[in-house]
Structure 1
Amino acid sequence: MSPRKLLRIDPSRNMSRFYEIDVQPSLFGDVSVMRHWGRIGQSGQSREYWFEDETGAQKASNSILGQKRRRGYQDIPLS
């Protein structure tokens, strides 16, 4: 899976946020889901989750992406 970046911008609520997620294999056969989020223009926060296989990591990643889209985040293309 390639990295995904989502944005949520709502000027009426003074909201401009970003959310990034990526699934990456480790050297030991595990797979991690890397999450990074925060306000646009700030460094934000990061969190990493580890899974035994890529199937579990992909499932978790898709679930998180679905939650964010329901909350109003929109995908942006990474170039």
Structure 2
Amino acid sequence: MSQDGAPNFVSIPNWVRRTGISRSKTYELLAAGELSARKVGRRTLIDLKAGLVWLDKQHAPKISMPFAKRRRTEVV
């Protein structure tokens, strides 16, 4: 635990709950070296501070409103 009471490392399920990143995507990021982790027995523990720094560096997607459906008007 760090001095502020937050854990230094979190389990994969805890990481998924905290970030919303899926379990399979988390394993992809670990395999690619994007996230750092330690193996303790059978558990994989992600470095929380480094993971949150990585998450902050990711670009937010540009979200736009979908095109409104155009209504056809009948010509009389």
Alignment TM class, shorter chain as reference: under 0.3
Q: Pick the structure with more strand per residue.
A: 1
Give the TM-score normalised by structure 2. Answer: 0.26
Q: Pick the structure with more helix per residue.
A: 2
- Greater Cα radius of gyration, structure 1 or 2: 2
Higher normalized contact order (CA 8 Å, seq sep 6+, divided by chain length): 1
Give the TM-score normalised by structure 1. Answer: 0.25
